Amino acid sequence: MEPVAEKFTAKDLVTDQDVRWCPGCGDYSILKQAQTVIPELGIARENIVFISGIGCSSRFPYYMETFGMHSIHGRATAVASGLKAARPELSIWLVTGDGDGLSIGGNHTIHLLRRNFDINILLFNNEIYGLTKGQYSPTSEEGKVTKSTPMGSVDHPFNPIALCLGADATFVARSMDRDPKHLQAILRRSHAHKGASFVEIYQNCNVFNDGAFEVFTEKSSKKQETIMMENGKPLVFGDNSDKGIQLDGFTPVVVDLNNGVSVNDLWIHDERDRVKAGILSRFFDNPKKENHLPRPFGVFYVEERYCYEDKMLQQITESKAKKGDGDLDALLRGRETWTIN
């Protein structure tokens, strides 16, 4: 029998390091929710690892009293993959940002997802480079005026959810820093999933991009601008839950439940439906645009698929069963030799 994990609390995860985020930064809330949820998961603290790259979000390992590593820009995914392959029993949490994980680290991110290592990826998206003082990022909107784009960005931004679905991720979700209960629930779901879990977290950078997600987080607009997805339930939104989404073929349409449309006629969310998850990922309109669609939050898609580390270890076990421990020198020599005169 495996030993029972020693119980610990959120306070036990607080380190002696000074938290060096700007006052009011959304990272504080994300840290708080992680410290709240992790003790509930029944994992031995010595088996928990936080790995990060470079960026404001990447200071996270210093503030979690667990094992961790502050790695290099964009390469936290490679470090985490190697660790999971070598120590599959560990619970690995990868903390990254929209710059770290989608720019220099974008290639590593999509390959971790397709390989499906059992790793929890938390991508803090503030649509800006905060650590380097306010340049535009891969998720900044078109026309974004920053220090590096004084005339406005001409880049078309990444849609992180659509990108991850395109990489065949097996768990894709979105939450926000200013909804603690929702974020906690998504972190629990992420941990429970066997495979690569990708969670995009809208995080406010109050210094360089303040209010980027205000329309989704403020009480005055949140109910009108967001859909909180729940599996098996209709897609409803609005101040009085009086609006919903129907599908006209493959086209989503906003309907008014006060005009003869029943809740039973609405799109029922099925987080196992990859096609509909793809449609939901495209609810990505600029909220200032007329007749725009509300932004979905929750689990877009989940599926069960073998994990890379399990298949790799299976191959090693089968190889040893057939050939014993193997001969490294013979492997390096290969099957063919040549004699050179």
* pLDDT, tens only, 157-170: 999 999 999 999 99
Count of CB atoms within 10 A of residue 140's CB? 25
Amino acid 326: pLDDT: 65
H helix and E strand count, the chain: 11, 11
The answer to whether residue 117 scores a pLDDT higher than 70 is yes
Amino acid 305: pLDDT: 98
User: Residue 319: which pLDDT band, with cuts at 50, 70 and 90?
Assistant: confident
Distance CA 182, CA 226 (A): 13
* pLDDT, tens only, 190-209: 999 999 999 999 999 999 99
Amino acid 238: pLDDT: 97
User: Residue 136: which pLDDT band, with cuts at 50, 70 and 90?
Assistant: very high
The answer to whether residue 150 scores a pLDDT higher than 60 is yes
Residue with tokens 């998961």: 41
User: Residue 102: which pLDDT band, with cuts at 50, 70 and 90?
Assistant: very high
The answer to whether residue 330 scores a pLDDT higher than 90 is no
As a whole-number percent, the residues of the chain with pLDDT over 70 amount to 97
Amino acid at the residue 166: G
Amino acid 325: pLDDT: 66
Interval 104-124 mean pLDDT: 97
Q: What are the DSSP E strand ranges found in the chain?
A: 48-52, 67-70, 91-97, 120-125, 171-176, 197-202, 226-228, 236-237, 243-248, 251-256, 295-302
* pLDDT, tens only, 300-309: 999 999 999 9
Distance of CA 16 to the CA centre of its chain: 27
Amino acid 338: pLDDT: 76
User: Residue 4: which pLDDT band, with cuts at 50, 70 and 90?
Assistant: low
Amino acid 3: pLDDT: 54
Q: Name residue 268's beta-bridge partners.
A: 234
Amino acid 335: pLDDT: 76
Which H, E and C letters describe 308-341, residue by residue? HHHHHHHHHHHHHHHHCCCCHHHHHHCCCCCCCC
Amino acid 45: pLDDT: 95
Give me the chain's average pLDDT, please.
94
- Which is more confident, 4 or 109? 109
* pLDDT, tens only, 74-83: 999 999 999 9
Interval 301-329 mean pLDDT: 86
Amino acid 2: pLDDT: 55
Residue with tokens 């700007």: 22
CATH number, domain 10-212 = 3.40.50.970
* pLDDT, tens only, 40-76: 999 999 999 999 999 999 999 999 999 999 999 999 9
The answer to whether residue 336 scores a pLDDT higher than 80 is no
